[in-house]
């Protein structure tokens, strides 16, 4: 991975797969992706290197080192160090079979039911860099306010018939408050987000700092 790879991802706001706004940087292939594609698309399937080598007969450490397959080394997982490799990239680089049973590898995180774990480990959040303005765009603080408030309300509604509805709203706002927007995309989101409009009104449309809830101020959502 080069600085140019990171820079290209910073100035490209959209997910490589679906075209939606992507907030994650997938390290093995240096590409931007959204939450949904990261967890569900085969392009981002990630396994431990020993598991891949074990199932791809004849592929040893030297072959892996000499190939173009990116290996993420020295990640801590369950009090141990592991190495991760993107399954699709490694299969392409080493010309191995595309249907290897890597789910039967040495670690349970290679199994399909645990695939979110290595994908998370191989990914980091990344902002969007606007070349013309020099600005970085992040998530909606209005959605963060709503997420924190609904979370507190949910705690008081454990035995209420409304609890299920609040759980749904909690998960929905959780995804929304981690969605990153470009300047143009945020303007469209702002028109639909009551919380963002309220913060704008509270700030006197930019004349003063709005009063934000402790959930945001204490770092409940990182910007």
All structural domains of the chain with their residue ranges: 3-125, 138-217
Check residues 124 and 135 and name the one with the higher pLDDT: 124
Q: What is the mean pLDDT of residues 66-82?
A: 72
| pTM summary value | 0.61
Q: Measured between alpha carbons, how far is 25 from 178 in angstroms, rounded to an integer?
A: 14
Q: Is the pLDDT of residue 65 over 70?
A: no
Residue 150 pLDDT level (bands cut at 50, 70, 90): low
């Amino acid at each position: 991975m080069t600085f140019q790879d990171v820079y290209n991802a910073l100035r490209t706001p959209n997910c490589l797969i679906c075209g939606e706004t992507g907030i994650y940087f997938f390290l093995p292939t240096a590409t931007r992706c959204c939450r949904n594609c990261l967890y569900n698309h085969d392009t981002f399937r990630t396994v431990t290197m020993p598991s891949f080598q074990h199932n791809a007969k004849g592929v040893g450490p030297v072959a892996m080192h000499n190939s173009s397959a990116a290996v993420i080394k020295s990640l801590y997982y369950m009090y141990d160090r592991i190495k991760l490799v993107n399954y699709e990239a490694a299969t392409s680089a080493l010309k191995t079979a595309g249907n290897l049973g890597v789910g039967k590898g040495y670690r349970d995180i290679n199994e399909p039911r645990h695939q979110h774990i290595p994908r998370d480990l191989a990914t980091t959040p990344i902002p969007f860099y606007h070349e013309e303005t020099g600005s970085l765009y992040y998530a909606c603080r209005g959605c963060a306010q709503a997420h924190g408030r609904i979370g507190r309300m949910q705690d008081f509604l454990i035995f209420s018939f409304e609890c299920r509805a609040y759980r749904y709203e909690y998960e929905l706002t959780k995804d929304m408050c981690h969605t990153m927007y470009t300047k143009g995309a945020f303007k469209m989101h702002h028109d639909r987000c009551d919380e963002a409009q309220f913060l704008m009104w509270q700030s006197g449309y930019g004349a003063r700092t709005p009063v934000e809830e402790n959930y945001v101020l204490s770092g409940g959502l990182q910007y």
